[in-house]
């Protein structure tokens, strides 16, 4: 298979690139390195045996359409995005220019190239709005009522995928991801609380919990998520599929788990709650099990332990 991965130098994307190359596929990576890093692709570049091609490009650049048409990938894994909910609230135009217009460039390139399928990284934590009570864990049948511009953009791209399938027979699977965490996630960014906690715990710095810490998320390990992407290249056509564990974990519980592993006794520092964030989130991935044969296998203690070990041994 010849695959193209947008956002392929990011922490999820690079892990996916490693998996695709290990399976013998040819891979093109498109990334502007605004948040991704060539260091994430070091292992891939060292062992790719000429099967890896890197293209530094912003997906907002219309030249992406021509690049995809020229490279003619069979499958596109579209992960490049502006990923911070707070940025989307502060600057929704910027968010839409990347997450909507950039995605349209991907779809137009795929249409012109005769690409067989697009696998899209959607957001299970935002597209459903703020589910409560019996709506958790949330199923794909739940109304999509996002409360942040970031969630709106992800929903809109899902609609475009459906339209391109109907108009141009471009197959797709949209994976509504829970809160993905794992090695290579940026500990200094604004998104990715597991990596942020890991970096600060190991540095002996206080960790900030926004609000009362009771807000919950569904944390799913990156290797499990990559497995879902690979499976979706061949299965789940025309579907939105949740990729999560179905387990709600509060931010306070997450901190307690990680602090214990890191040998830290200090409590977190609390700050004002952030606008646009949903209070509770967890995803029912039963549909992914049916259509992809996918289930998560990494529990939170094991996964966060791996993240702490990664940052502990990672060269500075």
Q: For residue 309, what are its two tokens?
A: 């070990």
- CATH number for the domain including 152? 3.40.50.720
Looking at residue 231, its pLDDT comes to 99
Q: If pLDDT is split at 50, 70 and 90, which confidence band does 190 have?
A: low
The domain tally of the chain equals 1
Catalytic site positions:
150
> Is 288 within 8 Å of 275 (Cβ atoms)?
no
Classify residue 206: in a domain, yes or no: no
**Rounded to 5 degrees, what are φ and ψ at 128?**
-90, 0
- Taking the mean position of all CA atoms in its chain, how far away is CA 282? 15
Cα separation, 79 vs 89, whole angstroms: 20
**Residues of the domain holding 50:** 2-181+221-246+282-296
Classify residue 21: in a domain, yes or no: yes
Backbone region of residue 236 per phi and psi (left: phi > 0; alpha: psi in -120 to 50; beta: other values):
left
Q: What is the pLDDT of residues 134-143, one digit of tens each?
A: 999 999 999 9
Classify residue 226: in a domain, yes or no: yes
Indicate whether 46 pLDDT > 90: no
3-class DSSP assignment, residue 119: strand
Looking at residue 316, its pLDDT comes to 60
3-class DSSP assignment, residue 72: coil
**Rounded to 5 degrees, what are φ and ψ at 131?**
-60, 150
Cα separation, 62 vs 75, whole angstroms: 19
pTM of the model: 0.95
Classify residue 274: in a domain, yes or no: no
């Amino acid at each position: 298979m010849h695959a193209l991965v947008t956002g392929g130098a990011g922490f999820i994307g690079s892990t996916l690139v490693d998996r695709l190359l290990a399976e013998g596929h040819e891979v093109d990576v498109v990334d502007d390195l605004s948040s991704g890093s060539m260091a994430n692709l070091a292992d891939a570049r060292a062992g790719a045996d000429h099967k890896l091609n890197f293209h530094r490009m912003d997906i907002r650049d219309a030249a992406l359409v021509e690049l995809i048409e020229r490279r003619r990938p069979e499958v596109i894994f579209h992960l490049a995005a502006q990923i911070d909910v707070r940025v989307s609230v502060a600057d929704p135009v910027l968010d839409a220019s990347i997450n909507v217009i950039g995605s349209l460039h991907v779809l137009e390139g795929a249409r012109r190239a005769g690409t067989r399928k697009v696998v899209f990284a959607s957001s299970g934590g935002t597209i459903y709005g703020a589910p409560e009570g019996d709506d958790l864990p949330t199923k794909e049948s739940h109304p999509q009522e996002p409360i942040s511009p970031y969630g709106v953009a992800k929903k809109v791209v899902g609609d475009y995928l459906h339209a391109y399938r109907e108009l141009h027979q471009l197959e797709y699977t949209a994976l509504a991801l829970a809160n993905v965490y794992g090695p290579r996630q940026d500990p200094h960014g604004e998104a990715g609380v597991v990596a942020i906690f890991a970096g600060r715990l190991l540095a002996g710095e206080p960790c900030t919990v926004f609000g009362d810490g009771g807000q919950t998320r569904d944390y799913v390990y990156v290797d499990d998520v990559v497995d879902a992407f690979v499976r979706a290249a061949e299965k789940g056509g025309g579907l939105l599929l949740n990729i999560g564990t179905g387990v709600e974990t509060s931010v306070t519980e997450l901190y307690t788990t990680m602090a214990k592993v890191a040998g830290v006794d200090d409590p977190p520092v609390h700050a004002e709650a952030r606008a646009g964030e949903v209070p509770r989130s967890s995803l029912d991935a039963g549909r992914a099990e049916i259509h992809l044969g996918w289930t998560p296998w990494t529990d939170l203690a094991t996964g966060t332990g791996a993240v702490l070990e990664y940052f502990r041994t990672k060269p500075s």
